[in-house]
Amino acid sequence: MKKLLLMVSVLLLTVTLSACGSNDNTVRLGVIGPLTGEYSLYGVAVENGAKLAAKEINAAGGILDKDVEVIAYDSKGDSTEGVNAYNRLRDQDEIHALIGGTFSGVTLAIKDLAVQDNIPVLTPTATNPDVTLDAANVFRACYTDSYQGSTAAVFAADELDVTNAAVMYNRDDPYSEGLADAFMAEFDARSLDYTAFEFGAQDDDYSALLTNIQSGGYDAVFLPAYVAEVGAVLTQADAQGLDVPFIGGDGWDGIEADYASVADGFYFVNHYAKTDEAAVVQDFVANYTEEYGEAPNALAALAYDAVYAMAEAMENAGSLDPDDITAALSALEFTNAVTGSIKFDANGDPIKSITIIQVVDGLHEVYAKVAATEE
């Protein structure tokens, strides 16, 4: 019996020892995003942005004198795949911190696991309000859905004099619904009129909704959705001859690539504008374009900022201990960011400015910039 006990304990010891025998000369940052599939536009941008930042950081000496390594896995935009990717990052790659969960849905799915495992998370792009709630070690680099949605409503009411809006959103997507809810709440608060039009993730045919919108005589349509859907909706709206301005959220970023003509003149709120003249923005755009052969979208910029912010927090913490990193993130004031300065509130949400962009001749033009407000 004693022999058996000894054998078991020796066995256990070898297992535990071998588990922590991995490479400790690098700082490993995990990235999870839809790298393939219809949303790959977003995931690839996040991966590229993060890797560009890591490359620059390594060239400047790394974090705590160690090289940064970005390990990206595909979530296909699906929560189950996202959790699998997370498990692999935790068990196999033993990451020190996680950048991402690109989508809100995926990030929500891995949030509880990350809290349990105490892995610091700084998601560049998950905008759903619940992501940072009740999770001390989860932060985000972008503003929330509700902030974005209400800013779009303020913009519609104040700048475009919209008094009667159509709100068209994807009921299967928390991101789309979150923005729509915030937009409608702001319109309620100002006692302006609106009508909600829902569609489903499986829908390809929006003509019935658009015909109803056309006959309803609305001043504008708020369409918080991702490019794949936005493009299809705008194409059909154009074919029907619907002549109403559309307003969107940051999911519209990249719309000019395939749908410049049908999106011309429309507005969306975004994290930064490629045409911003600040040096850090122009340097980032130039380096990214040189590295990947295309201009970065807002998600790439956010991921780039997130990696830099994480690096600074790790430097400030002086260690890779998760509690130290979390504490350093809470206290972080990261000023020289592409998407505006980052400083986290009690929830772990950033307090930052918001940009309103108009699509003109396939280019992003800064239409307005709304300053940061403490919520």
Partner 1 sequence: MELFIRQLINGLNTGSIYALVAIGYTMVYGIIKLINFAHGEIMMFGAYFAFLLAFTLSFNLPFLLVIVLSMSFAAILGVLIERVAYKKLRQAPRISALITAIGMSLFLQHLAQLIFGSTPYVMKPLIDTTPVVLFNFAIPKLTLLTIGLSILFMLLLSFFVLKTKPGKAMRAVSQDKEAAILMGINVDNVISMTFAIGSALGALGGIFYAMTYSQIYPTMGVLPGLKAFIAAVFGGIGSIGGAMLGGYLIGIIETMTKAYISSKWVDVIVFGLLIVILLFKPSGILGKNTKEKV
The CA-based dihedral angle spanning residues 96, 54, 326, 25, taken in that order and rounded to the nearest 10 degrees: 40
Residues that bind partner 1 (rule: CB under 8 A) add up to a total of 31
Least Å distance between CB 11 and partner 1? 42
Residues pairing with 196 in the sheet:
167
Among residues 124 and 231, whose Cβ is nearest to partner 1?
A: 231
Residues pairing with 297 in the sheet:
none
Answer yes or no: are the C-beta atoms of 265 and 245 closer than 8 Å. Answer: yes
Q: Report how far apart the first and last C-alpha atoms of the chain are (Å, whole number).
A: 64
Which 3 state secondary structure label does DSSP give 89? Answer: helix
Task: Kindly state whether residue 344 participates in binding partner 1, applying the rule CB under 8 A.
Answer: no
Among residues 222 and 259, whose Cβ is nearest to partner 1?
A: 259
Calpha distance 126→111 (Å, rounded): 11
Task: Kindly state whether residue 259 participates in binding partner 1, applying the rule CB under 8 A.
Answer: yes
Least Å distance between CB 199 and partner 1? 5
Task: Kindly state whether residue 320 participates in binding partner 1, applying the rule CB under 8 A.
Answer: no
Least Å distance between CB 242 and partner 1? 10
Among residues 147 and 252, whose Cβ is nearest to partner 1?
A: 252
Residues 6+ apart with CB under 8 A from 370: 151, 154, 155, 353, 354, 355, 356
For helices 174-189 and 104-117, what crossing angle results, to 10°?
A: 100
Least Å distance between CB 250 and partner 1? 20
Task: Kindly state whether residue 215 participates in binding partner 1, applying the rule CB under 8 A.
Answer: yes
Of 113, 192, 232, 370, the residue at the interface with partner 1 (CB under 8 A) is 232
Task: Kindly state whether residue 231 participates in binding partner 1, applying the rule CB under 8 A.
Answer: yes
Rg, the chain, Cα only: 22
Task: Kindly state whether residue 133 participates in binding partner 1, applying the rule CB under 8 A.
Answer: no
Least Å distance between CB 197 and partner 1? 8
Task: Kindly state whether residue 195 participates in binding partner 1, applying the rule CB under 8 A.
Answer: no
Task: Report the site for partner 1 in 15-74 (rule: CB under 8 A).
Answer: 36-38, 40-41
Task: Kindly state whether residue 241 participates in binding partner 1, applying the rule CB under 8 A.
Answer: yes
Of 93, 117, 198, 321, the residue at the interface with partner 1 (CB under 8 A) is 198
Calpha distance 50→364 (Å, rounded): 23
Residues pairing with 137 in the sheet:
none
Calpha distance 240→243 (Å, rounded): 9
Give residues in contact with partner 1 (CB under 8 A): 36-38, 40-41, 171, 198-200, 202-205, 207-209, 211-212, 214-215, 228, 231-232, 235-236, 238-241, 258-259
